[in-house]
Amino acid sequence: MGKISIDTPLAELTLRKYEKPETYTGRDLVRKFCLSIGLLQPGDSRDVIVDILLVMLEHQTSMNSKEIEDATIKKRKELKLPLLGIAPSNIRRQLLRLRDHFILEKIKNTYRFTENTSLTEIFSEKLEKYYLTSILARIKEYVKALDKTFPKDTK
């Protein structure tokens, strides 16, 4: 039997549509945002990424990973949530995921919102115009190649 090829995407973006955000506040609003852009899976109980983003939104300043970890633990205790996923290695992994989605950037040893801008601007400039556009362009190339390879029979 031959070797099985693993298809590794060059880029990946999961988008989900939920009800309008007017009914949500605080952590629930951040959670729906994380679900909407694929940072969190529906039904996932390991949701420390929500608290990390919530901490960054509340502080609006550059923070190092230890400060983010401490603030995240404090936030989870305040909200009476289980202290799951708060290991320093997992906090760093979640920060990397936020960086991969262009939400945060790392400058020296601190994290901040990309280019110190709002989430609206980050989403518009980075995710929508750059990331999503490049993914859609590549999918269109596949569609054209499929149409060329398997032309529609017009009988």
Q: Dihedrals φ, ψ of 106, to 5°?
A: -110, 125
Report how far residue 155's alpha carbon sits from residue 87's, in angstroms, rounded to the nearest whole number: 63
What is the SS3 assignment for 11? Answer: coil
Distances (CA, A) of 149 to 86, 88, 142, 143, 145: 50, 50, 10, 10, 6
In a domain, 3, yes or no: no
Same-domain check for residues 74 and 145: no
In a domain, 131, yes or no: yes
Same-domain check for residues 88 and 155: no
Residue with the two structure tokens 């960086």: 99
In a domain, 60, yes or no: yes
Each residue's pLDDT, cut to its tens digit, for the chain (155 residues) gives 566 678 888 888 899 999 999 999 999 999 999 999 999 999 988 899 999 999 999 999 999 999 999 999 999 999 999 999 999 999 999 999 999 999 999 999 999 999 999 999 999 999 999 999 999 999 999 999 999 999 988 76
pLDDT of residue 61: 95
Same-domain check for residues 142 and 83: no
In a domain, 45, yes or no: yes
Report how far residue 155's alpha carbon sits from residue 98's, in angstroms, rounded to the nearest whole number: 51
Question: DSSP readout, 98-148?
Answer: HHHTTSEEEETTEEEEGGG--HHHHIIIIIIIIIIHHHHHHHHHHHHHHHH
Q: Which amino acid is at 146?
A: L
We report the CATH number of the domain holding residue 37 as 1.10.10.10
Report how far residue 73's alpha carbon sits from residue 39's, in angstroms, rounded to the nearest whole number: 19
Residue with the two structure tokens 């603030």: 71
pLDDT of residue 31: 97
- Decide: 88 and 45 in contact? Cβ < 8 Å: no
Range(s) of the domain holding residue 123: 117-155
pLDDT of residue 123: 95
Same-domain check for residues 37 and 107: yes
